[in-house]
Copies of this chain bind each other. A is one copy, B any other.
Amino acid sequence: MIDKLVVIGVGLIGGSFACALRKAGLVREIVGVGRGRGNLEQAVELGVIDRYSLDAADAAAGADLVVLGVTLGATAGVLAQIAPVLGPRTLITDVGSTKASVVAAARAALGAHFPRFVPGHPIAGTEHSGAAAAFAELFLAHRVILTPVDETDAHALDVVRGLWEQCGARVVEMTVDDHDRVLAATSHLPHVLAYTLVDMLASEPDAEDIFACAAGGFRDFTRIASSNPEMWRDIALANRDALLAICGDYRARLDTMMQALAACDGDALEQSFRRAKDARDRFVVPQANARRI
């Protein structure tokens, strides 16, 4: 039982984790922290949090667990603010989309508290944001990746793992580098590709007519281009090296595809399309079906 849970950044993820912990009966009091009073007041009204503070240090004093749900760009600053008030048993975790940058910030800011910082990343989300978008079931049957480092305290890791599991998530552990490489591939690169396409088409003189001809495939393909631009700027910058590497790989693949097309090499095109379809049908579709159960 967590007596005092402090969620700094009551957005979709932080807010949903709060909702899920409460629904699982694991928490007595939830204090939210943020910069905007509007979102926090809404979070109280919706029952996502019990009360709020605009001061992270003020809220974090006496906390059993602090969850960082802020954007990556704000992480280092928040960690520096709360470090002086953390108790000797306070656990700290985060939900950030990249891990090397967060771990570096935590190591720098937390000092003796760093072993009780458990880096985490729930693989869940929608294109909506803010406390109003939060719901307790967001993590059901979704993966949560924890990326402990050498210094990470085994007990802290166990507790955070258990909390996520009791929220219905499937927890896996990875190294920081593996996490950042895999997420660059499955999440950060697709966002860059979708944003790039929509921005390109939006710059055409007949953009409205072009979009009017878009079918459901385009709508789904570009759904992630409706995501929060600031958040994705931060993610791209925080995972810059891994993202640049995979962008480069992708660009080379696209060149190969264009060369096949220029050469009218239908076999090469079909083989690539078929490998993609087979892999997606085998690995991605069953996963989605499993979640609907």
Contact = CB atoms under 8 A, between A and B. Distances in A.
Interface of A: 123-127, 142-143, 145, 182-183, 185-187, 189-204, 206-230, 232-234, 236-237, 240, 243-244, 247-251, 253-255, 257-258, 261-262, 264, 266, 269-270, 272-281, 283-285, 287-288
Given A182-B213, A211-B186, A287-B212, A233 B126 contact: no
Contacts of A199: 253, 272-273, 275-276, 279
B191 A280 contact: no
A211 B244 contact: no
Contact of A197 (B126, B193, B195): B193
Contacts of A285: 226
A269 B194 contact: no
Contacts of A213: 123, 143, 145, 182-183, 186
Contacts of A279: 198-199, 201-202, 207, 211
B215 A186 contact: yes
A186 B201 contact: yes
Contact of A223 (B204, B206, B217, B240): B217
Contact of A237 (B183, B244, B269): B269
8 contacts: A126-B216, A186-B214, A187-B214, A197-B276, A199-B253, A211-B279, A225-B273, A226-B277
B276 A202 contact: yes
Contacts of A262: 240, 244
Contacts of A228: 277
